[in-house]
Amino acid sequence: MRYSQQREIIRDIVFSTNSHPTADWVYGKAKKSMPNISLGTVYRNLKQLTDQHIIKTIYDGTIARYDWNKESHDHLKCVDCGEMVDIQTSNRERLKTVVNDKHNFDITDVEITFIGKCHKHNKKEKKE
Amino acid sequence: MRYSQQREIIRDIVFSTNSHPTADWVYGKAKKSMPNISLGTVYRNLKQLTDQHIIKTIYDGTIARYDWNKESHDHLKCVDCGEMVDIQTSNRERLKTVVNDKHNFDITDVEITFIGKCHKHNKKEKKE
DNA sequence: ATTTAAATAATAACAGTTCCTATTATTAGA
DNA sequence: TCTAATAATAGGAACTGTTATTATTTAAAT
Ligand SMILES: [Mn+2]
Ligand SMILES: [Mn+2]
Ligand SMILES: [Zn+2]
Ligand SMILES: [Zn+2]
């Protein structure tokens, strides 16, 4: 994989945020420093970076997001604002072992997403 | 929601399989008993059935699948054949509570997908 | 039976993503 | 340092899964 300025910019953008950005968001950012970068280039590089295990691709409903955090970790997702934050689930590895033993499946990974409302949206409304 | 023959067929198809079918697969099946049903009708009804909590929509990577099983449960996914099977994870509810308490998030649900290889593909190769 | 509105088939529109191709840029080697 | 080979690019077309539009059909209440 040969060096390219575009790929460096794209990589840096993904590493600059905890927001699990979409390709389109990365594209918007990238255009600021390189006005005629193309969306195709962004997608191609995000895929290459994923293949090289430099970033991770995660799926949020029906769209792809990108994550610089390659550690095995889980996510918390707000149904109101879509915000997605990292979380460390304690039993993670044990879960995998348990399932591996119980089923005829060779488990390599587990993806856990907690769905709910972030502090901005879980204002507990008092009845009355 | 008024009765329709199309919706009944679609519902029955989803309830007839454990394979977590895609809209397109349901469409193919439905055409057998109702040759000029349209794909739009399939999508519209799958969404309605989901809204009525008669079935569940789940996302597999970037595409939607449908599940008659409304119990809270998890999935095992084979990276080789894409097969997706139901699984009951024991600590599920406790996981939610723990996360709820630790983070400023009001958790309503958790989605757990185990990634691996099903028995058809996990033939353990002995290093010679 | 008549009326009303929900549901349909057909098809266009859409969003996210991948693919294509002529041009440009990186880099290994002379 | 210049050149040649070719990886990567910009721009745009194509593709895929899904949703929206609309004229027509259908369920079902009166
Ligand atoms: Mn993350
Ligand atoms: Mn299921
Ligand atoms: Zn929120
Ligand atoms: Zn398999």
Are B75 and B84 spatial neighbours (Cβ–Cβ below 8 Å)? yes
pLDDT band, residue B22 (cuts 50/70/90)? very high
Determine the Cα–Cα distance for residues B43 and B24; give it in Å rounded to an integer.
Answer: 9
Taking domain A5-67, whether its CATH number is 1.10.10.10 is answered by yes
Domain map of chain A by residue range?
5-67, 74-127
Give chain A's radius of gyration (CA, Å): 18
Instruction: Answer whether B89 sits within 8 Å of A109, measured CB to CB.
Output: no
The nucleotide closest to B45 (CA, C1' atoms): C7
Q: Which are the contacts of B124, defined by CB distance < 8 A and separation ≥ 6?
A: none
Amino acid identity of residue B13, one-letter, is I
Number of other CB atoms surrounding residue A91 within 10 Å: 16
Q: Taking the model in full, what pTM does it have?
A: 0.91
pLDDT score of A125 more than 70: no
Mutate one of A110, A114, A124 to test the B interface: name it (highest B CB count within 10 A): A114
User: What residues 52-81 of chain B have any CB closer than 8 A to a CB of chain A?
Assistant: 59, 61-64, 76, 78-79
Instruction: Answer whether B107 sits within 8 Å of A89, measured CB to CB.
Output: no
Instruction: Answer whether A112 sits within 8 Å of B95, measured CB to CB.
Output: yes
Instruction: Answer whether A112 sits within 8 Å of B111, measured CB to CB.
Output: yes
* Range B1-20 average pLDDT: 98
* Range A60-88 average pLDDT: 94
For the CA of B41 and the C1' of D26, the distance in angstroms is 14
Residues of B in contact with A111 (CB under 8 A): 111-113, 115
| Token pair 């390659």 in the structure block, residue | A70
pLDDT band, residue B122 (cuts 50/70/90)? low
Choose which CATH entry (3.30.1490.190, 3.40.50.300, 3.40.190.10, 3.30.420.10) describes domain B74-127. 3.30.1490.190
In 3D, which of A24, A34, A31 has the Cα closest to residue A65?
Answer: A24
